[in-house]
Chain A
Amino acid sequence: MDMQTIRELQAYGFFFFTVFLVLILYGYCYHLYKSEKTGRRNYEKYSNLALDDDPSSNVLEKKQE
């Protein structure tokens, strides 16, 4: 295979890889909204991790020991 063909394959490979990653990215967006709609998880409450961060604050979700 000559260099020209290899370069072309690289470019096509890159394009389809990009499309694949775009699908994953938008799939993630769909996942976020779906999770909230079905009540599986409330993402917005995690904002409180910054607001409520004193040593005396309650732990929002305890880490499994």
Chain B
Amino acid sequence: MRPGQMLSYDYTVAKLFMFSTILFGIVGMLIGVIIAFQMAYPDLNYIAGEYSTFGRLRPLHTNGVVFGFLLSGIFSTWYYIGQRVLKVSMSESPFLMFIGKLHFWLYMILIAAAVVSLWAGVSTAKEYAELEWPLDIGVVLVWVLWGISIFGLIGIRREKTLYISIWYYIATFLGVAMLYLFNNMEVPTRLISGHGSWLHSVSMYAGSNDALVQWWYGHNAVAFIFTVAIIAQIYYFLPKESGQPIFSYKLSLFSFWGLMFIYLWAGGHHLIYTTVPDWMQTMGSIFSVVLILPSWGSAINILLTMKGEWVQLRENPLIKFMILASTFYMFSTLEGPILSIKSVNALAHYTDWIPGHVHDGALGWIGFMIMAAMYHMTPRFFKREIYSKSIMEAQFWIQTTGIVLYFASMWIAGITQGMMWRATDQYGNLLYSFIDTVVVLIPYYWIRAIGGLLYLIGFFMFAYNIYKSMSAPTISAEPKNASPMGGRLNVEVSNV
């Protein structure tokens, strides 16, 4: 049977996850902006008792953005891309449709429970793995459901070859499954001691081993959620939106295996100058530097896909979002290895340079790619054009300015901080106390908070644009490539 004769793709689950992407994006980024202002103006810590302190809100921000916004975006694009490149519709399998919906609703319940528990201060105190054991079990269930969706759809596919994006989604699924299970091995304290709360648990690893497993997990969460699943998206959406085939399909395959091979060993760079064995620190450092190769392999492949078609960058804001995303990917994957070099790490570790580095990737690479993906999918979901091209253009520049303010201020703050911490007088005494550095950094914290606020404003513009697109003029047929978009700028172009 030729699929086109009676089928159409079913985007029900993809749409649901798009709404949760927007919802958690707003929540996660709003909390991020609040805590950024708290750094600049500490009295903001006390506006709602224990519930507004930085320590309570920071895990909410990271979990909200990573596991709320980002994962929703990954799931949404999976349920969109998966059907299309495998040439099979979700509507062909009531079972997969049921699993997809169950996946969504269980995920929503889980995230709601995560928000409540983290806000209440229930935490394992392991970064990015703060959820306590009952919620961890829920995470495993949600993940298994996603796995059934992935392999179920692959099982009933018509297209024999799995497109490169599917490879990356599979890697996301398997990578996170392995990392999550090992890092969250924990024992409820009451079970072994007979004391304390049933909710509380302790890690099964002790001391340095716990730190090693934690950062093997922590850094590879960056690898398999922040990187792998976003490459999956750009390898589909950029060629599709621009109508250009990937510059080199072979390079996409080779850099895939390169990334898989190298990324898993890089986590040790979080533990340079700690108690883990020296050779492991060196290994973490070397693998981080080597990691430039597969990262830039993908990024250059993505940029060269636009070869001969750079004019689209001027005409189509969606291409602009994706090309800047890829550029920020190159930028972050150069900055990361530099930070992993032992001598640089001695200066940069524990300073504000690190959150600066994270946000280059999170805001520039991931945020831009996910928003571009949502913009691309919207006309296909609702059979309507995108409401406004001019809002997209304005959003692009407001958010880009926000990112530049963010990372520039954090570079200066981080290097200042590192230099002040290590400065000594001629007798070897430290020149500055800790509070001296804090006072010096306050102007940079203001700049960072304003940068974050600009990005949040841009995100609200994005959410508004998507909302209005649901009632924008309809389109007669699904666009083959460039997404149709309305608004003032388009009218001007058509009048010329």
Contacts and interface: CB of A to CB of B under 8 A. Distances in A.
Interface string B73-97: 0000000000011010100000000
B245 A53 contact: no
Those 6 A-B pairs whose CB atoms lie nearest each other, nearest first? A56-B4, A47-B245, A49-B163, A53-B84, A61-B160, A63-B160
28 contacts: A7-B277, A11-B277, A14-B279, A25-B257, A25-B258, A32-B250, A36-B250, A43-B250, A44-B248, A46-B161, A46-B163, A47-B246, A47-B249, A49-B161, A50-B240, A50-B245, A51-B240, A51-B243, A53-B84, A54-B478, A55-B4, A55-B7, A57-B4, A59-B87, A59-B159, A61-B159, A63-B157, A63-B158
Contacts of A55: 3-4, 7-9, 87, 89
Contact of A51 (B2, B159, B239, B257): B239
A44 B257 contact: no
Interface string A21-65: 100010011001100100000011111111101111111111110
Contacts of A25: 257-258, 261
B245 A59 contact: no
Interface in B1-48: 2-4, 7-9
B140 interface: no
A53 B248 contact: no
A50 B165 contact: yes
A50 B235 contact: yes
Contact residues on A (Cβ < 8 Å of other chain), bracket: 20 to 34
Nearest to A47: B245
Given A21-B261, A25-B261, A59-B3, A51 B253 contact: no
Nearest to A35: B250
Nearest to A21: B261
A21 B287 CA distance: 13
B240 A47 contact: no
A46 B160 contact: no
Contacts of A48: 245
A14 B279 CA distance: 10
A7 B279 CA distance: 9
A44 B8 contact: no
B254 interface: yes
B304 interface: no
A21 B263 CA distance: 13
Nearest to A33: B250
B387 to A, nearest CB: 24
Contacts of B243: 51
Given A50-B163, A59-B159, A44 B240 contact: no
Given A25-B257, A55-B9, A50 B248 contact: no
A63 B155 CA distance: 10
B156 to A, nearest CB: 9
A60 to B, nearest CB: 6
B236 interface: yes
A10 to B, nearest CB: 8
Contact of B257 (A28, A50, A54, A57): A28
A63 B87 CA distance: 11
B164 interface: yes
B148 interface: no
A15 B357 CA distance: 30
Given A50-B165, A50-B239, A50-B245, 6 more contacts: A14-B283, A32-B250, A51-B239, A53-B240, A55-B4, A56-B4
Contacts of B254: 28-29, 32
B9 A64 contact: no
A54 B2 CA distance: 11
Interface string B251-280: 001100110010000000000000001010
Contacts of B253: 32, 43
A64 to B, nearest CB: 7
A25 B84 CA distance: 30
B277 A46 contact: no
Contacts of B236: 50
A58 B2 CA distance: 7
A49 B277 contact: no
Contacts of B250: 32-33, 36, 43-44
Contacts of B248: 44
Contacts of A32: 250, 253-254
A16 to B, nearest CB: 13
Most chain B C-beta atoms within 10 Å of own C-beta, residue among A11, A44, A46, A58: A46
A53 B87 contact: yes
Nearest to B7: A55
A49 B159 contact: yes
A45 B163 CA distance: 11
A46 B8 contact: no
A11 B478 CA distance: 56
Most chain B C-beta atoms within 10 Å of own C-beta, residue among A11, A54, A55, A64: A55
Contacts of B161: 46, 49, 60-61
Nearest to B5: A56
Interface string B144-188: 000000000000011111011100000000000000000000000
